[in-house]
Amino acid sequence: MPADNIPAAASDEPLALYVHWPFCVSKCPYCDFNSHVREQVDQQRWRDALLADLAHEAALLPGRRLGSIFFGGGTPSLMPPSTVAAIIDAATTAWTPGGDVEITLEANPSSVEAARFADLAAAGVNRVSLGLQALDDTALAFLGRAHDVREGLGALDVAQAAFARVSIDLIYARPDQPLAAWEAELTRALAFGTEHLSLYQLTIEPGTRFATEAAAGRLTIPDGDAAADLFDLTRAMTAAAGRPAYEISNHARPGAESRHNLAYWRYRDYAGIGPGAHGRRHRLASVRRRKPENWLAAVDRNAHGIESEEPLAPETRAAEALLMGLRLAEGVDLARVAARTGLTIDALIDADAVAALPGLIAREGDRLTVSEAGMILLDAILPRVVKVG
């Protein structure tokens, strides 16, 4: 679909680029991401294929301003820094980079990967998301992590010296995790001074080893009141430390939010390259082939790794915008969603349902927001108030 068939406002907004690196040293038992363990990786072939996939997206999205690049995975800190540099150079050549383009790379906190941080910073990465996951060696072993606390904190020191912006990931609501233990762990994490924290409750995802363990009755995670107490404590502590929740699981100093992830949550255009990557452009949903070998073969054959491109109906786009945007503390601008989709605000939400949930969700003018108390109940609130989809 030609660029002149999309709203001018969408074309003026910064574009986000996601780059998927699918390889890991080992598969974590909780992980349902598109990650794979391979004994060998042909680095030159992967570099060439990623650049070809990027060139295909660039041809479909000409003249755009680039707001962010995000290297995700898998474990993209295993990528050669020269490949990272080549992708950044290609992206900032194909699109006009904003003066403060955010370039994030996910990293595991092993000493081997930390040794690459200086080279990754020199390649152009200016923000790293470090997967500490826990500050307890027993918990790290349970989560299948290859590092211990000492190694993780050493990698954090290296990251804070190499990158201007650092985020850390932690997983809580682990089996038998007392409230006091999480309070102590989060207190320690907040003392590191990072500008951003992604704090996720452990969930049992289908197809993972943890799902098998849970089905056999060997694994139980906190639920109900216990999970809610952990969630409330997390939000209270991060707010008190000056890193309030701006999204249901993400906390940052004001101004230090992940601009790349905000592009998703605010339902802006994003291009995705690499195995299994998704994109949203020109009212189309694009999906790349998931298995690394199949994606490579597709790029060799077609000069891109796309498996499918589907037009999105106005109702689908509206539902996606609402379901993503209501995760944010800022909520959703209903007038913007209506203008982008051609639907009326009355067609988007059930006003009576909103009114019936005081203290959980509220509408002020065209702004719809979920309250602090409502966020823990978000999965139950959304089907009641969102009419489209």
Q: What average pLDDT does the segment 157-161 reach?
A: 96
Q: What structural domains does the chain harbor?
A: 3-265 (3.20.20.70), 314-385 (1.10.10)
Q: Give the neighbor-by-neighbor strand order of the sheet with 361-364.
A: 332-333, 367-370, 361-364
Averaged pLDDT of the chain:
94
Question: What is the length of the chain?
Answer: 389
Q: How confident is the model at residue 10 (pLDDT cuts 50, 70, 90)?
A: low
Alpha-helical (H) ranges within the chain are: 8-12, 43-60, 81-94, 111-114, 117-123, 137-142, 149-162, 179-190, 209-215, 224-240, 259-265, 292-302, 314-325, 334-341, 345-348, 351-355, 372-375, 378-385
**DSSP 3-state of 208:** coil
H helices, E strands: number in the chain: 18, 15
pLDDT at 1: 33
Indicate if the pLDDT at residue 57 is higher than 50.
yes
Q: What is the dihedral angle through the alpha carbons of 290, 293, 299, 300, rounded to the nearest 10 degrees?
A: -160
- Sign of torsion, CA 63 316 274 56? negative
Q: What average pLDDT does the segment 203-208 reach?
A: 93
Query: In angstroms, rounded to a whole number, what is the distance separating the alpha carbons of residues 50 and 86?
Result: 10
